[in-house]
């Protein structure tokens, strides 16, 4: 099979019995036979898939169209998943070939068929010629191809630029150019006046390299700076249409492309992966209704329940403004004054506090969300992503040792396992609470420091997450990806959770600061299956057509421009207790016992887990001032006397121990 390429499409001429896989293609238009306006089959705009073309051994070689030229490389083996592909595709061709085969092609056009199916996680589209056709139509398959694939590369690690024709210099070797495309003459010597003379401003290549180097870094994430990512898919395994009308959940077996990012929370970009710290767990679902960002952690609760305290929490866990070192005083001073943090504190210092890599931990939405079905009936839900690899954790000693040997331990573990074909997966489940249960539940169901009892609201399976492809470029994908809990599709809505309500603004705003106001135009953040039609214009780094010549305001008098759709409400009405606007805690926060759930967690631990938790707390808190330690011990005592006593005993032993102090784990 000899590949040839037309100016705006890929064309293949079949000459023998063979199969070729074409990868990294985004077809923005229907595929067509060469020299024909009849579509081979149609896909929704910007759908991504793998194409397989088959020709029989009896097919004679076909001459390439005169307007095409040969290309030297085909990219094979792409395992990227198509979202909701059509099944059992059929087509006929009205194309003709040479005069010798024209009548044969025409008379047998009804026998020319195409079909699609899944092989593993690869969508395979097969098109076959009957043996009675003397030769396949010239340039059998053609597709309009976007110049750059969605994520900048294929499963073999080749970027889209590698799959394009290489520009070569006079020697025939690949040509090194400036950013503007000008040939580089010499990359070892700057332009000077004589061999020992001064440099010249006209050396564009020198100035461009230095200027670009100075601008390579974008602002680091304030939280979740150190992270790893991967591509994959989500598949619905159980019918949840009675709960949620989101189209990507509409039927069992439906698959959706996803990108995941896992991270530590408080450390910087170069921080050790094995720090004792909550882990970020975020998934971007590329659905036909737009992106859904599930932005959570590896714990079902958090330290605070009002977003106004988030900056303070993070400041207390970051570096001291004078010493620029981690500060146990700040860490424990804040937590001891915010007793609702105790549930998260115990989880963080328990044996679960340092996961053995990103693959061996659960993920949670943590917040309460609302799911609405197609009939408008709503429920409160909590999201759980349970690791299929099993829970594994590291001890304090293991964490500290690994931090010194391989600070990128979790990042490496994830990348290498995917590279080896050992694809990590998680089972997605939800807890479901009727709306009418919320006011009478014994805890505030929107309090981020509390969990819902599984006895009251058992888990219900939804589907499976699988991650099967590593990023091609870390910066382009893992660093530039931006998640926001405000990005929800129809059927998924927010709850009154105060921290969630704060994050609905803060995450988009952080992305605008880091990557610019047009960060959603960055390929990793775009949804290829839902076209953006907006009146937003201009701004730093606008890289699309910016709306062209169309008006940039609404309302307007032009019928072919976007209009709001009142039949797709983004919020389902629900009742809450009314009252006067003001700043005060909810009544349940005052009435409920903030020590009950931490007490149950502590008392439910085995003796071994209790001992490990106490050891971790004592090792960490011993660096704080004595009055802060005493206040935190008092918080522990309100939870459980044995917890406080054991921490005091462990502290006495730590003070006598020659072991060096560390806040790493």
Relative to beta strand 122-128, strand 47-55 is parallel
| CB environment 204-243: b (16+ within 10 A), e (fewer) | ebbeebeeeeeeeeeeebebbbbbbbbbbbbbbeeebeeb
Number of helices (H), then strands (E), in the chain = 15, 20
Q: 386, 382, 381: which is closest to 301 by C-alpha? A: 382
Residue pair 215/260 in contact (Cβ under 8 Å)? The answer is no
Tokens 């590329």, residue?
286
Nearest-10 crossing angle of helices 607-621, 328-336:
120
Distance CA 259, CA 538 (A): 28
Q: Please enumerate in sequence order all residues whose Cβ is within 8 A of that of 131, keeping only pairs 6 or more positions apart, or say none.
A: 56, 58
CA angle 169–175–176, rounded 5-degree value = 140
**Neighbouring C-beta atoms of residue 295, cutoff 10 Å:** 22
Structure tokens at 511: 């992305």
Distance CA 330, CA 486 (A): 31
**Neighbouring C-beta atoms of residue 20, cutoff 10 Å:** 16
Distance CA 213, CA 215 (A): 5
Residue pair 463/340 in contact (Cβ under 8 Å)? The answer is no
Distance CA 155, CA 164 (A): 16
Residue pair 452/426 in contact (Cβ under 8 Å)? The answer is no
Structure tokens at 314: 């993070």
Please list the active-site residues: 224, 297
**Neighbouring C-beta atoms of residue 509, cutoff 10 Å:** 11
Sheet strands side by side (includes 122-128): 18-27, 47-55, 122-128, 113-119
- In the 8-state DSSP scheme, what is residue 661? P
Tokens 């309100």, residue?
638
Helices (H), 450-591: 474, 498-515, 587-591
Tokens 């959570």, residue?
296
Structure tokens at 613: 């938790």
Tokens 């085909």, residue?
74
Structure tokens at 337: 């004054």
Sheet strands side by side (includes 141-144): 39-41, 31-32, 141-144, 9-13, 2-6, 69-70
Q: How long, in residues, is the chain?
A: 665
**What is the C-alpha end-to-end distance of the chain, expressed in Å?**
58
Considering just the CA atoms, what is the radius of gyration of the chain in Å? 29
């Amino acid at each position: 099979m000899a590949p040839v390429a037309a100016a705006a499409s890929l064309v293949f001429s079949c000459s023998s019995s063979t199969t070729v896989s074409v990868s990294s293609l985004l077809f923005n238009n229907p595929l067509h036979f060469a020299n024909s306006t009849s579509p081979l089959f149609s896909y929704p705009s910007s759908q991504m898939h793998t194409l397989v073309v088959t020709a029989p051994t009896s097919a004679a070689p076909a001459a390439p169209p005169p307007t095409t030229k040969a290309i030297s490389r085909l990219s094979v083996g792409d395992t990227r998943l198509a979202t909701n592909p059509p099944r059992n595709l059929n087509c006929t061709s009205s194309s003709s070939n040479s005069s010798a085969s024209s009548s044969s092609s025409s008379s047998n056009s009804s026998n020319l068929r195409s079909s699609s199916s899944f092989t593993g996680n690869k969508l395979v589209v097969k098109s076959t010629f009957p043996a009675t056709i003397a030769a396949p139509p010239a340039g059998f398959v053609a597709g309009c191809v976007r110049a750059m694939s969605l994520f900048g590369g294929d499963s073999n690690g080749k970027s889209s630029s590698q799959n394009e024709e290489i520009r070569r210099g006079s020697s025939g070797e690949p040509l090194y150019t400036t950013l503007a495309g000008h040939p580089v003459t010499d990359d070892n010597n700057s332009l000077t006046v004589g061999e020992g003379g001064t440099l010249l401003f006209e050396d564009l290549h020198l100035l461009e390299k230095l200027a670009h180097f100075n601008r390579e870094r974008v602002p680091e994430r304030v939280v979740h700076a150190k992270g790893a990512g991967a591509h994959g898919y989500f598949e619905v395994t159980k019918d949840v249409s009675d709960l949620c009308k989101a189209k990507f959940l509409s039927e069992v077996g439906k698959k959706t492309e996803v990108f995941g990012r896992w991270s530590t929370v408080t450390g910087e970009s170069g921080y050790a992966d094995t720090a004792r710290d909550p882990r970020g767990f975020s998934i971007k679902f590329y659905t036909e209704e737009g992106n859904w960002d599930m932005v959570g952690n590896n714990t079902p609760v958090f330290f605070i329940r009002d977003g106004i305290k988030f900056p303070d929490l993070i400041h207390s866990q970051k570096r001291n403004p004078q010493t620029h070192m981690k500060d146990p005083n700040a860490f424990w001073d804040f937590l001891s004054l915010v007793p609702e943090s105790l549930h998260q504190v115990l989880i963080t210092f328990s044996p679960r506090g340092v996961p053995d890599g990103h693959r061996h931990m659960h993920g949670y939405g943590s917040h309460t969300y609302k799911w609405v079905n197609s009939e408008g009936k709503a429920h409160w839900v909590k999201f759980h992503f349970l690791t299929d690899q099993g829970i594994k954790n590291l001890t304090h000693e293991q964490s500290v040792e690994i931090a010194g040997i391989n600070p990128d331990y979790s990042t490496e573990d994830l990348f290498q396992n995917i590279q080896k074909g050992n694809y990590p997966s998680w089972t997605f489940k939800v807890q479901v609470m009727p709306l009418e249960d919320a006011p009478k539940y014994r805890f505030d169901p929107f309090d981020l420091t509390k969990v819902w009892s599984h006895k009251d609201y058992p888990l219900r399976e939804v589907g499976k997450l699988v991650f099967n492809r590593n990023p091609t470029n870390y910066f382009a994908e893992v660093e530039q990806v931006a998640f926001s809990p405000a990005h929800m599709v129809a059927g998924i809505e927010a709850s009154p959770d105060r921290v969630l309500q704060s994050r609905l603004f803060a995450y988009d705003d952080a992305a605008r600061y880091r990557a610019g106001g047009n960060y959603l135009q960055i390929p990793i953040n775009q949804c290829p299956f839902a076209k953006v039609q907006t009146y937003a214009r201009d701004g730093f780094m606008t890289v699309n057509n910016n709306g062209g010549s169309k008006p940039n305001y609404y309302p307007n008098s032009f019928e072919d421009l976007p209009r709001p759709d009142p039949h797709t409400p983004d919020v389902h009405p629900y009742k809450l207790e009314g009252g006067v606007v003001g700043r005060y805690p909810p009544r349940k926060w005052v009435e409920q016992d903030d020590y009950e759930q931490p007490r149950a967690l502590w008392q439910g631990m085995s003796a071994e887990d209790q001992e490990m938790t106490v050891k971790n707390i004592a090792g960490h808190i011993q660096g704080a001032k004595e009055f802060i330690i005493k206040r935190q011990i008092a918080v522990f005592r309100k939870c459980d006397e044995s917890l406080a006593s054991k921490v005091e005993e462990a502290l006495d032993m730590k003070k006598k121990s020659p072991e060096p102090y560390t806040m790493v784990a």
